[in-house]
Structure 1
Amino acid sequence: MKSNVPENYSVKKTDKETLLKWYKLLFLGRTLDERAPNYLKQAIGWSYHAPAAGHDGIQHAIGQNFKKEKDHLFPYYRDLQTCISAGMTAEEVIFNGISKDADVAGGGRHMSNHLAKPAWNIHNVSSATGNHTLHATGLGRALKTYKEDDAVVISSQGESSVSEGYVYEAINGASNEKLPVVFVFQDNGYGISVPKEDQTANRKVARNFEGFKNLRIIYCNGKDVFDSMNAMEEAVNWAKKEQRPVVVHANCVRIGSHSNSDRHELYRDENELSYVKEYDPLAKYRRMLLRYERATEDELKDIEEKVTKEVKDAHKKAIKAPDPKPESIHDFVLPEPYTSEKYPEGTHNDDGEPIKLIQALNETLKSEFRNNPDTYIWGQDIANKDKGGVFNVSKGMQKEFGKTRVFNAPIAEDYIMGTANGMTRYNDKIRVVVEGAEFADYFWPAMEQYVEMTHEYWRTKGQFSPNVTVRLASGGYIGGGLYHSQTTEGALSTFPGVRVVYPSFADDAAGLLRTSIRSKGMTLFLEPKALYNSPKAAAVVPDDFEVPFGKARIRRDGKHMTMITYGNTTYMCLEAAEKMSKEDGLEVEVIDLRSLLPLDKETIFESLKKTSRALVVHEDKVFGGFGGELSAIIADEAFELLDAPVKRLGSEFTPVGFNRILEGATLPNTDKILKAARELAGY
């Protein structure tokens, strides 16, 4: 089935200069494609190579319909010919293949064959197949928001990656929001060795999307340059004109193995291998030029000789180019954060009336939206009349800032996160705040996008930073049970490339949220929901208050023991410390970390110089919790300051039950902390 598209290109209609230019690009792509495995054989690099041969027609068409620095292109790992057609040079491709520091995609930090040129809007995508469809949709949202009517986003992938759930989320969202995104499915019939019939019931996977409103689907022969050009030009023009998404389904063949680590002869017979070679798009294009007398054999050979020399020259330059330096691994893990000049320590005087934590968050969000008109927030239930999230943190925001900046997202955590990644790619002024899930426990479907964001800045060598604040209502003590009372920071803080903060008081919540939104890079902002309306968490909050990352706060001075805590257990530690003062005559210092990543080790060590005893307390499980890392750091770097082993207290190693009796038996409380502290004091 083929959609009815205008036939603007054919071997007869297209001018000779263009035909010969195309042949040069196609031959250059194929030459590099065939040369790539030789680098591996010589132990020079290119240890991952997914050949493009058989996809030449559609990939050429994608590149020719991409306008650099205006459109946005998300190629996948087989899109070598796409990138050549879009204008990347042989040098740039080889630099990437052999992982040189000059690689414009990211300086050898990402896998070979993952081609990109962020300066042109050819985006650096990960190896998680198809997940860039979410980023493309987010960028489509930015084009629509900023009224870029003459620009389009092109997202390319293989047909088997369409089986991923987030691809459906992306296309559903683009359809629902009417976004100018062209999704190209390059269908070669295999997902590595898995045949298409094991992936989907439809012979053409694009048919799975035929019920989506606002979505146009165009089918083409991806092996044919002209049919592919006609289809892509029509798709791009229609997406721009109608401001709606298009799927281009291109039928291709995979001439070689999936990659250099795959042996396709183990699952493809001789007949099939002969068949795919017979349908070689490059050979077909060459034959057509000769058959219709649009080029002579000498002209084509001249192009081939020039391309061969071009590739040899590029190879010589690439071999001599410098490799990445070992010490550079620590560069571009995170951008430099926003720093406060007025509140460098994240403290203030207490002049004024205390407000609750939820009010502090709400007022800070509104203040930052007024401060930067390029700030956006979305999530589940956050913008429905007078409602503002499950806990009303964003109440009143849509009314003040409008539906373009404050809006509901589908119940699709991947989509919430992935489109935030995509939208911030449009320009560096954009700041996105998302409620990553209604409760932190529901965040797990978004983990792939969370991990993706943590290494975007590093992977691109600082060329792209997802400037996103991820808000999650965290923790228990509300009788919520499974999926409403768990804590997640132990798992989510194990990734480099993200800041993790967990305030306990209203002022710290406001100050950290302001710093998070103003900073570049991703911040995970965990909110102890049991404290939203608690009088214990109320505090005086200056209108412009800012709290730096990596600055703990001493909540209570002491000299006999240090309690290190954050979140809900901060108050329990303070209560236990007061009891120990009155009943035991021991003065306990309580440190509220506020920031887990980065961590204020200096404040912890200075306290231990006075007290020589450390009790680490948090709501999360002891086994696998963040306290294990804290304890290890203290033991490793401050062992000589201690007069006793580091002691930990947290939840039992069990889920948090719904019945209040079960919850109470699982979570820490003041009595449990007091018992542990007295044991440590008596060591």
Structure 2
Amino acid sequence: MREISFSEAICEAIKEEMEKDPTIFTYGEDLSKQGGIFGTYKCLLDKYADRIIDTPISEEVIYGSAVGAALAGMHPIVEFHFADFLFTGMDAVVNQIMKIRYMSGGQGSLPIILRGPDGIAKAAAAQHSQSIETIFMHIPGIKVVIPSTPYDAKGLMKEALKSRDPVIYFEHKRLYSMKGPVPYEEYSIPFGEADIKREGKDLTIVATSRMVHEALAIAEELSKSDGIEIEVIDLRTLVPWDKDRVIESVKKTNRLIIAHETWRRAGWGAEIAATIQEEAFDYLDAPIGRVGAKNVPDPFSPVLEEFVIPDKNDIREEIHKILR
């Protein structure tokens, strides 16, 4: 076991699979010189530079060409510069990539991975900071992956590269440099298997990505200060999501908070809450709590940005509401 960064873990997974599969290649904007805007592909530049393609600044062309490549037998990994830019190529993503298997009666297989940075960054403002995973959870036809640790990032990318169907893989900007243990041995993480990052008995927090770390931080603080033991579940994937593990936890703790960085209004936490209300209502001793960003675009001002985005203090407030 060694420690590597979140970014290095993603690159390592892709490099190992490129060694086995000559059909895997990657393309997007500004990749060949520094390995992408956040350097995620640095480990590929020496050995697999011929499988890294720079594209024009045209998301519709980038995503649309992935359809042709996949139908021709290739396995494209497409980097979106920022998740915000997915909107400029949504016809190719939503009406082609996410629908061809259904429209072809299962004859068309599209092993496409769309991957890249999402989430709040320091003073990146409204057009480079959005967490838009809820949109892709809502529309059928794609698997949604959103890791929080280097271990999960590598294992989930390995699983994504096994998929014969489209995968969208969100990487939070603030996690790229975070280091954590990753084994040398081969492994992958099946989609739809949540991970209990911390066990507890008093309340369950379900989170993804950066908010997993915010949840763990407040859980440790409240354990020391108040003796409250909080269970933290990292979903790791939103499509599919691990309903059974969440219900098992709620049966034990009888209380639930869902925390995500995307906007609270109509965020994916509402889907989780509705499901638990439908299938585990009798085990709840309090209303389900939800934590998310305030319903405004992300401000450029660092002071306003910190006010808008959720953190451990927002989770703390929700915990006190539920446990009072």
* TM-score relative to the length of structure 1: 0.47
1:440 aligns with 2:89: no
Task: Using the TM superposition, give the Cα deviation of residue 477 of structure 1 relative to its aligned residue in structure 2, in angstroms.
Answer: 3.8
CA distance in 2, matches of 1:678, 1:578: 15
Find the counterpart in structure 2 of residue 660 from structure 1: 302
Find the counterpart in structure 2 of residue 265 from structure 1: none
Find the counterpart in structure 2 of residue 420 from structure 1: 66
CA distance in 1, matches of 2:241, 2:11: 26
Q: Which residue, out of 31, 38, 42, partners 1:391?
A: 38
1:541 aligns with 2:188: no
Query: Are the equivalent residues in 2 in contact too, given 1:510–1:541 (CA < 8 A)?
Result: no
Q: Which residue, out of 605, 616, 624, partners 2:247?
A: 605
Residues 2-39 of structure 1: CA deviation (Å, up to 9, x unaligned): xxxxxxxxxxxxxxxxxxxxxxxxxxxxxxxxxxxxxx
CA distance in 1, matches of 2:184, 2:242: 23
Question: Structure 1: where are the runs of 5+ without partners?
Answer: 1-351
Query: Are the equivalent residues in 1 in contact too, given 2:117–2:172 (CA < 8 A)?
Result: yes
CA distance in 2, matches of 1:540, 1:472: 21
Find the counterpart in structure 2 of residue 362 from structure 1: 11
Query: Are the equivalent residues in 2 in contact too, given 1:431–1:467 (CA < 8 A)?
Result: yes
CA distance in 2, matches of 1:581, 1:480: 34
Residues 339-385 of structure 1: CA deviation (Å, up to 9, x unaligned): xxxxxxxxxxxxx222110111111111111110111100011112x
Query: Are the equivalent residues in 2 in contact too, given 1:431–1:518 (CA < 8 A)?
Result: no
Query: Are the equivalent residues in 2 in contact too, given 1:506–1:541 (CA < 8 A)?
Result: no
Partner SS state of residue 354, structure 1: strand
What pairs with 1:274-423 in structure 2 (closer than 5 Å)?
352-384=1-33, 387-403=34-50, 405-423=51-69
CA distance in 1, matches of 2:252, 2:270: 22
Task: Using the TM superposition, give the Cα deviation of residue 396 of structure 1 relative to its aligned residue in structure 2, in angstroms.
Answer: 4.3
Find the counterpart in structure 1 of residue 110 from structure 2: 466
Task: Using the TM superposition, give the Cα deviation of residue 585 of structure 1 relative to its aligned residue in structure 2, in angstroms.
Answer: 1.2
Query: Are the equivalent residues in 1 in contact too, given 2:291–2:315 (CA < 8 A)?
Result: yes
CA distance in 2, matches of 1:402, 1:441: 27
Q: Which residue, out of 588, 613, 624, partners 2:230?
A: 588
CA distance in 1, matches of 2:197, 2:216: 8
Task: Using the TM superposition, give the Cα deviation of residue 398 of structure 1 relative to its aligned residue in structure 2, in angstroms.
Answer: 4.1
AA in 1 matched with 2:38: F
Query: Are the equivalent residues in 2 in contact too, given 1:554–1:592 (CA < 8 A)?
Result: yes
AA in 2 matched with 1:372: D
What pairs with 1:42-57 in structure 2 (closer than 5 Å)?
none
CA distance in 2, matches of 1:600, 1:542: 27
Find the counterpart in structure 2 of residue 615 from structure 1: 257
Q: Which residue, out of 153, 159, 166, partners 1:515?
A: 159
Query: Are the equivalent residues in 2 in contact too, given 1:563–1:617 (CA < 8 A)?
Result: yes
Find the counterpart in structure 1 of residue 144 from structure 2: 500
Query: Are the equivalent residues in 1 in contact too, given 2:3–2:181 (CA < 8 A)?
Result: yes
Query: Are the equivalent residues in 1 in contact too, given 2:32–2:49 (CA < 8 A)?
Result: no
Query: Are the equivalent residues in 2 in contact too, given 1:360–1:507 (CA < 8 A)?
Result: yes
CA distance in 1, matches of 2:177, 2:140: 33
CA distance in 2, matches of 1:418, 1:477: 28
CA distance in 1, matches of 2:320, 2:190: 33
Task: Using the TM superposition, give the Cα deviation of residue 482 of structure 1 relative to its aligned residue in structure 2, in angstroms.
Answer: 1.6
Give the 3 Å change call, closer, same or farther, for CA 681–627 of structure 1 in structure 2. same
CA distance in 1, matches of 2:147, 2:280: 25
Query: Are the equivalent residues in 2 in contact too, given 1:474–1:528 (CA < 8 A)?
Result: yes
Partner SS state of residue 415, structure 1: helix
Give the 3 Å change call, closer, same or farther, for CA 584–543 of structure 1 in structure 2. same
AA in 1 matched with 2:84: D
Task: Using the TM superposition, give the Cα deviation of residue 582 of structure 1 relative to its aligned residue in structure 2, in angstroms.
Answer: 1.2
Find the counterpart in structure 2 of residue 645 from structure 1: 287
AA in 2 matched with 1:478: K
Task: Using the TM superposition, give the Cα deviation of residue 603 of structure 1 relative to its aligned residue in structure 2, in angstroms.
Answer: 0.4
Find the counterpart in structure 2 of residue 314 from structure 1: none
1:480 aligns with 2:134: no
Bigger Rg, structure 1 or 2: 1
CA distance in 2, matches of 1:394, 1:619: 26
Structure having greater relative contact order (Cα 8 Å, sep ≥ 6): 2
Query: Are the equivalent residues in 2 in contact too, given 1:380–1:408 (CA < 8 A)?
Result: yes
CA distance in 2, matches of 1:672, 1:528: 19
Task: Using the TM superposition, give the Cα deviation of residue 619 of structure 1 relative to its aligned residue in structure 2, in angstroms.
Answer: 0.3
Residues 100-126 of structure 1: CA deviation (Å, up to 9, x unaligned): xxxxxxxxxxxxxxxxxxxxxxxxxxx
Query: Are the equivalent residues in 2 in contact too, given 1:622–1:652 (CA < 8 A)?
Result: yes
Find the counterpart in structure 2 of residue 491 from structure 1: 135
Find the counterpart in structure 2 of residue 318 from structure 1: none
Query: Are the equivalent residues in 2 in contact too, given 1:360–1:541 (CA < 8 A)?
Result: no
* TM-score relative to the length of structure 2: 0.97
CA distance in 2, matches of 1:646, 1:477: 29
AA in 1 matched with 2:91: E
Query: Are the equivalent residues in 1 in contact too, given 2:8–2:43 (CA < 8 A)?
Result: no
- Amino-acid identity (%): 33
Query: Are the equivalent residues in 1 in contact too, given 2:2–2:184 (CA < 8 A)?
Result: no
AA in 2 matched with 1:408: D
Query: Are the equivalent residues in 2 in contact too, given 1:378–1:434 (CA < 8 A)?
Result: yes
Partner SS state of residue 76, structure 2: strand
Partner SS state of residue 539, structure 1: strand
Find the counterpart in structure 2 of residue 573 from structure 1: 215
CA RMSD, aligned part only?
1.1
CA distance in 2, matches of 1:542, 1:642: 42
Query: Are the equivalent residues in 2 in contact too, given 1:355–1:541 (CA < 8 A)?
Result: no
Question: Structure 2: where are the runs of 5+ without partners?
Answer: none
CA distance in 2, matches of 1:420, 1:649: 36
Name the structure where strand makes up a greater proportion of residues.
2
What pairs with 1:178-327 in structure 2 (closer than 5 Å)?
none
Residues 19-70 of structure 1: CA deviation (Å, up to 9, x unaligned): xxxxxxxxxxxxxxxxxxxxxxxxxxxxxxxxxxxxxxxxxxxxxxxxxxxx
Query: Are the equivalent residues in 1 in contact too, given 2:150–2:178 (CA < 8 A)?
Result: no
Task: Using the TM superposition, give the Cα deviation of residue 412 of structure 1 relative to its aligned residue in structure 2, in angstroms.
Answer: 0.7
